[in-house]
A = this chain, B = another copy of it.
Amino acid sequence: MDASPPARRPKVVIVGAGFGGLTAAVKLAKAEVDVTVIDRHNYHCFQPLLYQVATAELSPADIAWPIRHVLRRQKNARVLLGTVQAIDLENRKVVADTVTLDFDELVLATGATHSYFGNDEWEKSAPGLKRIEDATIIRRRLLMAFERAELSDDPAERERLLTFAIVGAGPTGVELAGAIIEVARQVMPSEFRRIDLRTARVILIEAGPRVLPAFPESLSDYTRRSLEDMGVEVMTDTRVTKVDETGVDLEHGRLDAATVIWAAGVVASGAGRWIGAESDRAGRVIVEPNLSVPGRPNVFVIGDTAAVKRPDGSPVPGIAPAAKQMGAYVADVIASRAREAVPPPPFRYVHQGDVATIGRRAAVITLPYVNLKGMIAWLFWCVAHIYFLIGTRNRIAVAFKWVWDFMTFQRGARLITDQRDQI
């Protein structure tokens, strides 16, 4: 019989309940540790479907799930709502607006936000799409643009109101462009009496030479052609030099557009500054092979907040599967330490593929051994996203809405709920 008192259980604090943080918490369920998850929202947001909230297909609650509910049965975990203000590495404390937490192991998983490349004043005119609030702001602007165009007697103003510019042609930009042109040209024309929504313009602006730069060139070409067939105007090699409330300045001219959406760049959240760590140009913290901060073996940075390289030197992309893999990995490191076992080998990212939808009839997907495009890729995308949603209730509700709206050409969440933020 071992009569020595049990060792104190290590306190693990996880900041942020996105894909990385939440995976880390769940994977620590059986570890001999006490886990505290702190987030400024009370829910985990399924970011890959945010564009469907922004385009009135889904409700916010369809893609968000209370963090408490996810962790309700995990006895070693507790959840706190709060915004972290500072981290005291010497005394191992996380200071939030609501509470101060002691930690033995710290996981920073605070994600990323839009980057305006030094032009933060553009944000007001060109919101990005990272949070639920962003999605409802974009939804409101989109729907208000149609309403105001219907009321306007000025042809130039009407044209400006029916012009939608999306800056950045990564997956988010492509998905928004496809969804917006469908709303304008297929869902809503019969509902307006004065304006012809089929004249609405959706312009996808990309500084680089092709859309979906992370994809093989053949899929980029396919995506561009598909978007153009739907009526989207694709402008590659086109740099935005200014954004204001009436439109955007391009290198080669002016584009009047009442609605501008920013999908061009992200920057890591401020977690690097909290701990004074070295970070790359996009604000991502440079980490050790085990995802800890150099010189701070008990502080880990994961997901979009971390700069991690693949064996070939290319960066690990800022996508959900990467964040989940990192979350699972640091959970493994922390659990090993807690039971004084051999630590796992260095983190190794396994790229499972990239995916983007093009409206409601096509998608492009890269998988390890095969690329897919068209309707079959779109069906694959639907099934995969339903599978990865959290909670059976949300899965069924979203699947039903997709099938219904596919058949009826409707959009079910067309609410303008706060008119303070009018364009």
Give me the interface of A with B, judged by CB distance under 8 Å.
Answer: 40-43, 59-62, 64, 66, 68-69, 71-73, 78-82, 98-99, 132-133, 136, 143-144, 147-148, 150-151, 188, 190-194, 393-394, 396-397, 400-401, 404-405, 408, 410, 412-419
3 shortest interchain CB distances as A-B pairs: A68-B191, A59-B59, A61-B413
How many whole Å from A153's CB to the nearest CB in chain B? 9
How many whole Å from A65's CB to the nearest CB in chain B? 8
Question: Do B143 and A42 touch (CB < 8 A)?
Answer: yes
Closest residue of B by beta carbon distance from A82: B151
A42 touching B416 in the complex, CB below 8 Å, given contacts A72-B191, A191-B69: yes
Task: Write 28 A-B pairs (CB below 8 A) sorted by A numbering.
Answer: A40-B419, A42-B147, A42-B414, A43-B414, A43-B415, A59-B59, A60-B417, A61-B412, A61-B415, A64-B415, A66-B191, A66-B415, A68-B191, A69-B191, A69-B410, A72-B191, A78-B194, A79-B191, A80-B150, A80-B151, A81-B150, A98-B148, A98-B151, A132-B417, A133-B417, A393-B401, A397-B400, A400-B400
Closest residue of B by beta carbon distance from A68: B191
Which residues on B sit within 8 Å (CB–CB) of A60?
Answer: 59, 415, 417
Which residues on B sit within 8 Å (CB–CB) of A147?
Answer: 42, 81
Which residues on B sit within 8 Å (CB–CB) of A78?
Answer: 193-194
The secondary-structure label for the interface of chain A is mixed
How many whole Å from A357's CB to the nearest CB in chain B? 21
Among A61, A191, A396, A401, the most chain B Cβ lie within 10 Å of the Cβ of A61
Report the bound CA distance from A72 to B147 in whole Å.
14
Report the bound CA distance from A80 to B68 in whole Å.
42
How many whole Å from A91's CB to the nearest CB in chain B? 20
Question: Do B136 and A417 touch (CB < 8 A)?
Answer: yes
Which residues on B sit within 8 Å (CB–CB) of A410?
Answer: 69, 393
A404 touching B408 in the complex, CB below 8 Å, given contacts A62-B59, A72-B190, A151-B98: no
Which residues on B sit within 8 Å (CB–CB) of A191?
Answer: 66, 68-69, 71-72, 79
Question: Do A397 and B401 touch (CB < 8 A)?
Answer: yes
How many whole Å from A244's CB to the nearest CB in chain B? 23
Report the bound CA distance from A150 to B68 in whole Å.
12
A393 touching B416 in the complex, CB below 8 Å, given contacts A78-B193, A190-B72: no
